[in-house]
A and B are shown apart, each in its own frame.
Chain A
Amino acid sequence: MRLALAIGSFLILVVHGLVFYKQFFHAWERHQSAYFDQARGLAKSETERAAVTGRSPRIEQLIVTSFGETRVDRCTTCHISSDDPRFEKYAHPLKTHPYSAAMGDVQKNGKWERRHKFSDFGCTVCHDGQGRGLKPEYSHGEDHYWPDPLLGYVAQHGWRKEFVSKLKGREYMEANCAQCHTEDNFAGTATVQRGRQLFFSTNCYGCHRIEGLSDGTLGPDLTEVGKKFKVDYLWESIADPRANSATSVMPQFKLSEADLKALVIFLKSRKGMNFSETEIQRYRAKLTGGAELIQATIKPVEITASQMLQQGQKLVEDRACMACHKLNARDGGIAPDLSYEGLLKDESWIQEHFANPRSVVSDSIMPTFRFTADEFKAMSAYLASLKTAPALASGADAYKALCQRCHGDKGDGHGEIAIYLDPYPRDLTKAGFMNSKPMERLTHSIQNGVAGTSMPAWGKLLNEAQVKGVLEHVLTTYTKTPRRELKARKVPTANPVAMSPASVTRGEAVFVQRCAGCHGRKADGKGPNSLDILPRPRNLRNSAFVHSVNDERLFDSILYGVQGTAMPPWIDYGLSNNDVGDLVNFIRGINPQSKGNQHARAIEPR
Chain B
Amino acid sequence: MSAATPPKPAPPAHKPSLVGSLLSLPANVWSSIFRNPLPGNDVERSATSFTNFFLHIHPVKVHQNTLRPLYTLGLGLMSFFLFIILVVTGILLMFYYVPSTTQAYDRMLDLRGSVAFGTFLRNMHRWGAHGMVAIVFLHMCRVFFTGSYKKPREFNWVIGVLLLLVTLFLSFTGYLLPWDQLAFWAITVGAAIAGYAPVVGKDMQFLLLGDANVGQEALLRFYVLHVAVLPAVLTLLIAIHFWRIRKDGGLSRPAESEVQPEILSAPGADVVVTVKAVQLEPKRTYGLQGLVRGPLIKTGNVPDRSVFSWPNLLVAELFTFILTLSVILVVSLLFDAPLEEPVNVMHPPNPAKAPWYFLGLQEMVSYSAFWGGIGIPTLFVIGLLIAPYLDRAPGGVGKWFARERLLANTTFLTFVVVNVILVIIGTLFRGPNWAFVTPW
Binding site for B on A (CB under 8 A): 1, 4-5, 8-9, 11-12, 15-16, 18-19, 22-23, 59, 69, 72, 74, 130, 132-135, 138-139, 145-147, 224, 228
Give the residues in chain A near B342, CB-CB below 8 Å: 147
A130 to B109, CA, bound (A): 9
3 nearest CB pairs, A to B: A8-B322, A132-B109, A15-B329
Q: Does B112 contact A (CB under 8 A)?
A: yes
Q: How far is the CB of B327 from chain A (nearest CB, A)?
A: 9
Asked whether, in the complex, the Cβ of B112 is within 8 Å of the Cβ of A133, the reply is yes
Q: Taking A19-B120, A132-B114, A135-B113 as contacts, is the C-beta distance between A11 and B329 under 8 angstroms?
A: yes
- Chain B residues with CB under 8 A of A15: 326, 329-330, 333
CA distance A22 to B117 in the complex (A): 9
Residues of B within 8 Å of A9, CB to CB, are 322
Asked if A23 and B116 sit within 8 Å, CB to CB, the answer is yes
Which of B102, B112, B181 has the most A CB atoms < 10 Å from its CB? B112
| Chain A residues within 8 Å of B344, by CB | 147, 228
- Do residues A8 and B319 form an inter-chain contact, with CB atoms below 8 A? yes
Name the B residues within 8 Å of A59 (CB-CB). Answer: 114
Q: Inside 8 A of B316's CB, which chain A residues have their CB?
A: 1
Name the distance in Å between B88's Cβ and chain A's nearest Cβ.
14
17 A-B pairs, CB-CB below 8 angstroms?
A4-B323, A8-B322, A8-B326, A9-B322, A11-B330, A12-B329, A16-B329, A19-B120, A23-B117, A72-B110, A74-B113, A132-B109, A133-B109, A134-B113, A134-B114, A145-B340, A147-B341
Report how far A134 CA is from B322 CA in the complex, Å. 33
Interface presence of B339 (CB below 8 A): yes
Q: Which residues of A contact B112 (CB under 8 A)?
A: 133, 138
Whether A1 contacts B333 by the Cβ 8 Å rule is no
Q: Smallest CB-CB separation from B106: which chain A residue?
A: A132
Query: Hey, which chain B residues are within 8 Å of A224, CB to CB?
Result: 346
The residues in B between 343 and 363 inclusive whose CB is less than 8 angstroms from any CB of A are 344, 346-347
Does B315 touch A at the CB level, under 8 Å? yes
> Do A69 and B102 have beta carbons less than 8 Å apart?
yes
Report the minimum CB–CB distance from A202 to chain B (whole Å). Answer: 25
Chain B residues near A (Cβ < 8 Å): 102, 106, 109-110, 112-114, 116-117, 120, 180-181, 315-316, 318-319, 322-323, 325-326, 329-330, 333, 339-342, 344, 346-347
Bound CA span A19–B330, Å: 10
**Would you call the interface of chain B mostly helix, strand, loop, or mixed?**
helix
Query: Would you give the shortest CB distance from B84 to chain A, in whole angstroms?
Result: 15
State how many angstroms separate the Cβ of A131 from the closest Cβ of chain B.
9
B319 touches A145 (CB 8 A): no
Q: How far is the CB of A154 from chain B (nearest CB, A)?
A: 16
CB-based contact B322/A132 at 8 Å? no
Query: Complex: how many Å from CA A133 to CA B333?
Result: 19
A19 interface neighbour in B117, B180, B322, Cβ under 8 Å: B117
Quick one: closest A residue to B111, CB to CB?
A132
CB nearest neighbor in A for B69: A1
Given A11-B330, A15-B333, A145-B340, do A5 and B319 touch, yes or no (CB 8 Å)? Answer: yes
Q: How far is the CA of A22 from the CA of B123 in the complex (A)?
A: 14
- With a cutoff of 8 Å between Cβ atoms, the chain B residues found around residue A4 in the complex are 319, 323
A138 to B108 alpha-carbon distance, docked (Å): 12
Known contacts A1-B319, A59-B114, A134-B114: does B330 contact A72 (CB below 8 Å)? Answer: no
- The answer to whether B110 and A132 have CB atoms under 8 Å apart is yes
Q: B347: which A residues are within 8 A, CB to CB?
A: 228
Q: In the complex, what distance in Å separates the CA atom of A332 from the CA atom of B137?
A: 58
Q: State whether B333 touches A18 (Cβ < 8 A).
A: yes
Q: Shortest beta-carbon distance, B68 to chain A, in Å?
A: 13
Report B-chain residues with C-beta under 8 Å of the C-beta of A72. 106, 110
B341: chain A residues at CB < 8 Å are: 145-147
Assembled-state Cα–Cα distance A132/B347 (Å): 24
Q: Which residues of B contact A5 (CB under 8 A)?
A: 315, 318-319, 322
Q: Which residues of A contact B319 (CB under 8 A)?
A: 1, 4-5, 8
Residues of the B chain whose Cβ atoms lie less than 8 Å from the Cβ of A11: 326, 329-330
Residues in B neighbouring A145, C-beta threshold 8 A = 180-181, 339-341
Minimum CB distance partner of A6 in chain B: B322
Query: Within the assembled complex, what's the spacing in Å between the Cα atoms of A135 and B341?
Result: 17
* Bound Cα distance from A11 to B321, whole angstroms: 13
B339 CB to closest chain A CB, in angstroms?
A: 7
**Centre residue among A59, A69, A72 by max chain B CB count within 10 A:** A72
* Contact A12–B113 (Cβ < 8 Å): no
User: What's the nearest-Cβ distance from chain A to residue B69, in Å?
Assistant: 9
Partner of A228, one of B109, B322, B340, B346: B346
Given A132-B106, A228-B346; A74-B114 close (CB under 8 Å):
yes
B269 to chain A, nearest CB (A): 33
CB distance from A15 to the nearest CB of B (A): 4
Q: How distant is the Cα of A135 from the Cα of B180 in the complex, in angstroms? A: 20
Q: How far is the CB of B243 from chain A (nearest CB, A)?
A: 28
Given contacts A5-B318, A132-B110, A132-B114, 16 further A-B contacts (CB under 8 A): A5-B315, A5-B322, A8-B319, A9-B322, A12-B322, A15-B333, A22-B120, A132-B106, A132-B113, A133-B109, A138-B112, A138-B113, A147-B344, A224-B346, A228-B344, A228-B347
